[in-house]
Structure 1
Amino acid sequence: MITKESYQPAVATSWTGRIDGTDADFLRWHQVIKVVDLLQAPLPVLAPNEKGMVLLGFASDEGVRRNKGRTGAAEGPAALRKVIANFPAHFNAHTILLDAGDVLCKNGQLEEAQEVLSEAVKAILTAGYLPILLGGGHEITYGHASGIRKYAQKQRVGFINFDAHFDIRVPGEEGPSSGTGFWQLAQDCKQSGDTFNYLALGIQKNGNTRQLFNIAGEEGTTYVSADAFHLNDKDTLFAAIQHFLLQVDMVYLTTCLDVFAAPFAPGVSATAYNGIMPGGLFLQCYRAILQSGKVVSADIAELNPSLDIDNRTAKLGAALIFEIVMAYCGEDLSL
């Protein structure tokens, strides 16, 4: 249940930016986005010819703290909004873009915040919108994906994670963290009799213990290492992606910004000096997943503005959000 203690509605005045004009060809996101309050009213009903997207922040880094990382990701949603506000609106009048505000994690109550997030995601999906979540630490995964599973019922849900880490740790004394989300989902799938469909892309051998590789194997995880991106191994990457997509009906897509090389993503808890490059082969993979038509919800995780340099990481995360929106609207990203 969404409560006023765990939720902060969006504020229209927070959406500002450059104005080149008010005709359709001049518009930017801050000029077309509308704010909604999930506590006050249901989302607007979409007409048959309309597509709708809802931005929702998860202002939490409690999971990062529990995982002994560098906190600050709770400010990620605000930083992402600031960048995407000035994006040009390359979509038509039949596209509805809403900001539903932030789910909050107060007083370290991560499990409660994740439950609220799952209910919000389910409500957005039920209303026919595409949820685009703004993190926040990667503890966003468990709440986000749980909401998708509630909505999906018996449809086959697949989890695709661009990440240097499996995030499949067994919870420790402090409980679930930013590194346990996929282990939690694996247990939930077992309990409900569902297959745990998990594809991890960009995994670093120097970022995961042997135990984590063992757990990933025990849970049936499919993964492709960062080497495939470094060595331009397109065949391996696309074979893994296409095979995975054939096994599922809908996809939860999450991108942990620490999958990228540190010069492009310095603003994360755990930087990767040898992370993948955010252009070329990565974009081909990302777009192939988005254009499959199976992505029902997506998020960006681990942006820590306090560690960022010249907003590089925020701009990279925002660029991925732009990719998600354009693909959902059926817009051609080629020039």
Structure 2
Amino acid sequence: MKCISLIGAPTDVGASVRGAGMGPDALRVAGVAEALRGHGYDVIDRGNLAGPPNPWQQPQQGLRHLPEVVAWNRAVFEAVATSLALDQVPLLMGGDHCLAIGSISAVARQCRQERKNLRVVWLDAHTDVNTAAISPSGNMHGMPVSCLLGHGPEDLVGWSGERAAIVADALDFIGIRSVDADEKLAIRQLGLQVFDMRHIDEHGMRNTMTEVLQDVDEDTHIHVSFDLDCLDPLDAPGVGTGVRGGPTYREMQLCMEMIADTGRLGSLDVVEINPALDVRNRTAELAVEFIQSLFGASTLAR
């Protein structure tokens, strides 16, 4: 088994609500390292990255805290790239979802070097396809997908060696149920594959995941970008932008187990845990359960 590298990025510079910066330590308190070691993995905790504080300013030209977002993502990019170069599985502990720009850019660069096909599974209530031109808030945790597709500010694109770290076909959204009006048009124009909650309601999680994973092969690197607000806030209250009507606990467990069954999970983001809004660290504890499932935990030996 590969070694898992825990990388903490304690910042909420891209978010709309303070508190996500405490997410990495909430996962540690919930026992993420001990849980993974219990399944036979070597785990190295790299500690928390350093970066600028949240200045909590108004947007400038449609972007909020751009210099700080760039700095944090650069730190994430370097840490994830180092873990991948050491043949480790990087587990980025956020922090808000803007950090996926750095982590997925590093993964995309590594996949290009190894000639692997990158598949990004984006678990979220939101599509995060906003740009400076269409974002209602300027909060950059709503823009990482646009940046990864090459449509973000110049300081946040091109890190993987190509302007777009990923192409639209490499990205699958699961659990979506909150999309801004202009984002809907952007999703259609970009040709993105979105399995929203209506799709899951109509077809079930099993059929949805079968569609998502149908062409995964031995040359595929799966990156899971897991925003805890993908879950219903009744189950995961510790998030800054909760939206009712998410996947159930069992649906999400099945999603994780089916990804694990492929044997192709190569990297992971766990973001947007906000202990300031949580109840006795319940959301972080739930995240640890799902992380274990992603790394192969199951009721029976399969």
TM-score by length of 2: 0.82
Per the TM alignment, residue 239 of structure 1 is displaced from its structure 2 partner at its CA by 3.6
State the Cα deviation string for residues 113-151 of structure 1 (Å, max 9, x = none).
101211110110110111111111111211110110121
Larger Rg belongs to: 1
> For residue 128 of structure 2, what is the aligned residue in structure 1?
167
Distance 2:76 2:82 in 1: 10
2:223 matches 1:252: yes
> For residue 92 of structure 2, what is the aligned residue in structure 1?
133
2:70 matches 1:104: no
Contact 1:229–1:282 (CA under 8 A) maintained in structure 2: no
State the Cα deviation string for residues 180-236 of structure 1 (Å, max 9, x = none).
1111111158736963311000010xx212321221222221111113444562464
The AA in structure 1 aligned to 2:79 is A
Distance 1:149 1:175 in 2: 26
Distance 2:167 2:92 in 1: 24
Q: Alignment identity in percent? A: 21
Task: Note the aligned Cα RMSD (angstroms).
Answer: 2.6
Per the TM alignment, residue 278 of structure 1 is displaced from its structure 2 partner at its CA by 1.9
Label 1:177 to 1:193 Cα distance change in 2 as closer, same or farther (>3 A): closer
Partner secondary structure for residue 5 of structure 2: strand
Range with bigger deviation, 247-256 or 218-227: 247-256
Partner secondary structure for residue 149 of structure 2: helix
Q: Show structure 2 runs of 5+ residues with no match.
A: 55-67, 151-156
* Higher RCO structure, 1 or 2 (CA under 8 Å, sep 6+): 2
Q: How does 1:318-329 map to 2 (within 5 A)?
A: 318-325=288-295, 327=296
The AA in structure 2 aligned to 1:98 is I
Partner secondary structure for residue 297 of structure 1: strand
Partner secondary structure for residue 96 of structure 2: coil
Distance 2:12 2:195 in 1: 27
> For residue 222 of structure 1, what is the aligned residue in structure 2?
193
Q: How many residues were matched structurally?
A: 273
> For residue 13 of structure 1, what is the aligned residue in structure 2?
none
Range with bigger deviation, 250-259 or 107-116: 107-116
Distance 2:207 2:36 in 1: 35
Distance 1:225 1:185 in 2: 20
> For residue 255 of structure 2, what is the aligned residue in structure 1?
285
Contact 2:7–2:49 (CA under 8 A) maintained in structure 1: yes
Distance 1:81 1:216 in 2: 35
> For residue 149 of structure 2, what is the aligned residue in structure 1?
186
Q: How does 1:233-248 map to 2 (within 5 A)?
A: 233-234=204-205, 236-243=207-214, 245=216
Which residue, out of 156, 169, 172, partners 1:199? 172
Partner secondary structure for residue 198 of structure 2: helix
Label 1:89 to 1:112 Cα distance change in 2 as closer, same or farther (>3 A): closer
> For residue 234 of structure 2, what is the aligned residue in structure 1?
263
Range with bigger deviation, 282-291 or 191-200: 191-200
2:280 matches 1:310: yes
> For residue 63 of structure 1, what is the aligned residue in structure 2?
14
Per the TM alignment, residue 257 of structure 1 is displaced from its structure 2 partner at its CA by 0.7
Distance 1:319 1:167 in 2: 25
Q: Show structure 1 runs of 5+ residues with no match.
A: 1-49
Partner secondary structure for residue 42 of structure 2: strand
